Amino acid sequence: MGGVAGDLSIFVAGALLLLSIVVSKLSGRLGVPGLLLFLVLFLGVGMLASSDGPGGIQFSNYALAQYAGTLALCFILFQGGLGTHWSAVRPVLRRGLSLATLGVLISSGLMGAFAH
């Protein structure tokens, strides 16, 4: 990747990173969950940049869209992990793990039965 397109993509990535830092700091001051503001921010940027928005970007690279979505999910999970205090998790850890395990077993059992 080089030239103007490469420079523009690096600029956009840097601007989004800077904007996400500002949103993170702003969410702490407003008392609003950071993930909610991140969701609004990135959905808004995506809608503005799309072919139906003022950005007018025609996008049909589905592999890149999946990669970007996976990367965004990694950031969301990372931010959620950093913002969670162990003292809040400890009292409900056993119940949460048992419900999560039971939910996975039921979901995979139903999907296996449906697929069979």
pTM assigned to the model:
0.45
3-class secondary structure, 55: coil
Residue 14 · residue 7 · CB < 8 Å: no
Q: How far apart are CA 49 and CA 1, in angstroms?
A: 21
pLDDT one-digit tens code per residue, 4-27: 666 777 887 788 788 878 877 887
Tell me how far the alpha carbon of residue 69 is from its chain's centroid. Answer: 7
pLDDT tens figures, 26-49: 877 887 777 777 778 778 877 887
